[in-house]
Amino acid sequence: MLINIDFLDRILLKPKALSVFYVQLKNKITTSVLYTNKSATPLDFNKKAYLFDDVPGYIAPTIATNNNIKLIKLNTYKGSMINLSAYESVDHYLKANFSSDRRSKFKTYKKRLDKCFNITYKTYYGNIDKVEYDRLFVCFSEMIKTRFEDLEANHYALDNWSLFEDNCYDLIHAKKATLFVIYDSNKPISISFNPVLGDVAYGYLRSFDIDYSKFYLGFIDTIWELEWCFLNKIAFFDLLKGSYAYKAKFTNTSYFFQKQIAFNPKSLRSSISAVAQAFKVKSFYTLISFLKLLNIDSVYHNFRNKKKAAQINSKKEKSPYSALDNTVAAVSTKNTQEINMNSNEYSFLKKPVYDFLYTSQESINNTTVYKILEEDNAYIVKGLNKNRKIMY
């Protein structure tokens, strides 16, 4: 009998369940102890084997058992992390890994966001109001859904959102997770949920309001999270699986996830279950390696990248609006009507207006939106120094 355990979900979202399986978890790189439990209940390996899936390769586990078990470790997918242990501060890390031009751009991104909106940054760690927590997680799921609908893709978290809603509140209060929120006034526009285990923080779940996509929220958020890591003596910021542009720019260390099969060599059924599962896993990843030798993975990734580029270009071509910079010298009160783009009726104007704020470096506090009465689907965004006409 083979029992499957999702290691990553258990250690990051259900840490209380660790006591059933582990006596200790150790970071092999820093040799620090990530988790310890002196009253663990020993696992039963009689006629049983256990498959621990998605175990980061840098974690050395000690399984709770009275048996002399064996452990088969099989590398699967690559993970990526930011090793901060060699640096004294976030500035030290950025200087060592990015050019002065790139660092200057990072600062510009944040300055531009702070200038254009009424921005506040809030880290929830050790305490969060339940009402605000509930509100944020509704916004969080809506952000993910909207963003991935725009990308024409699915997100794994939405299939089991209750797992996050039910566990994250207690994790934040127990200082086993952080919630990073960027607010525009009272509206969350970027949310990141990061579990914490010992000296490792995990970039587990994140999303942002796509109306603000011009403002590089991913870079702003990541640097802010790294600042928090240094303040809280976090040695590694683990970005886990997945290939994303921001990961490639920030990561400096990679590792393999593993499938770890624990079994009792003195039990025939336990051994047969373990060996059979190991054979299946090895066969699958041998096939993957063979396909990589044939560059099938490169062809596939190139195809995906070209498809994504084509989708982006198609969306630009099919964009429902066009923006004409500085075509309006003044706004006449005779043929225009001031509107509220925060109303549901005009919410579609948010993104083009926010794009205008970014390029013109105007503030939302000095910006007014007008509907042109004599034209169909025509609007004017009036800033302090610049105007823009938007045609839908």
- Determine the Cα–Cα distance for residues 217 and 209; give it in Å rounded to an integer: 9
pLDDT at residue 320, as a whole number = 59
pLDDT at residue 7, as a whole number = 87
pLDDT at residue 302, as a whole number = 56
- Determine the Cα–Cα distance for residues 175 and 179; give it in Å rounded to an integer: 10
Residues 358, 360, 365, 368, CA torsion sign: negative
| Model confidence band, residue 42 (pLDDT cutoffs 50, 70, 90) | confident
DSSP-assigned states of every residue in 269-332: HHHHHHHHHHHHHHHHHHHHHHHHHTTHHHHHHHHHHHHHHHHHHHHHHT-S-EEEET--SS--
- pLDDT, mean of residues 131-136: 97
- pLDDT, mean of residues 225-242: 93
155 three-class SS: coil
- Determine the Cα–Cα distance for residues 246 and 80; give it in Å rounded to an integer: 11
Using the predicted structure, report yes or no on whether residue 341 has a pLDDT greater than 60: yes
Using the predicted structure, report yes or no on whether residue 317 has a pLDDT greater than 50: no
- Beta strand segments in the chain, E: 2-6, 22-27, 33-36, 49-56, 59-63, 70-83, 119-124, 177-184, 187-197, 200-202, 205-208, 236-240, 253-263, 322-325, 336-339, 368-372, 378-382, 387-391
Using the predicted structure, report yes or no on whether residue 232 has a pLDDT greater than 80: yes
Lowest mean pLDDT segment, chosen from 22-26, 44-48, 177-181: 44-48
pLDDT at residue 182, as a whole number = 98
More confident residue, 245 or 91: 91
More confident residue, 299 or 117: 117
Backbone dihedral region of 229: left (phi > 0), alpha (psi from -120 to 50 degrees) or beta? alpha
- Determine the Cα–Cα distance for residues 205 and 106; give it in Å rounded to an integer: 22
CATH code 3.40.630.30 region(s) in the chain: 86-234
Sheet-wide strand order for 336-339: 322-325, 387-391, 378-382, 368-372, 336-339
- Determine the Cα–Cα distance for residues 270 and 275; give it in Å rounded to an integer: 9
Contact 235, 85 (CB under 8 A): yes
Using the predicted structure, report yes or no on whether residue 115 has a pLDDT greater than 90: yes
Using the predicted structure, report yes or no on whether residue 278 has a pLDDT greater than 70: yes
Using the predicted structure, report yes or no on whether residue 3 has a pLDDT greater than 90: no
Q: How would CATH label the architecture of 86-234? A: 3-Layer(aba) Sandwich (3.40)
Q: Are strands 49-56 and 2-6 parallel, antiparallel or unpaired?
A: parallel
Residues 134, 223, 240, 176, CA torsion sign: negative
Look up residue 241 and give its DSSP letter.
Answer: S
pTM as predicted: 0.87
Q: Which two tokens stand for residue 51?
A: 């498959």
pLDDT at residue 68, as a whole number = 83
Residues 124, 126, 131, 133, CA torsion sign: positive
Contact 81, 255 (CB under 8 A): yes
> What's the chain's length in residues?
392
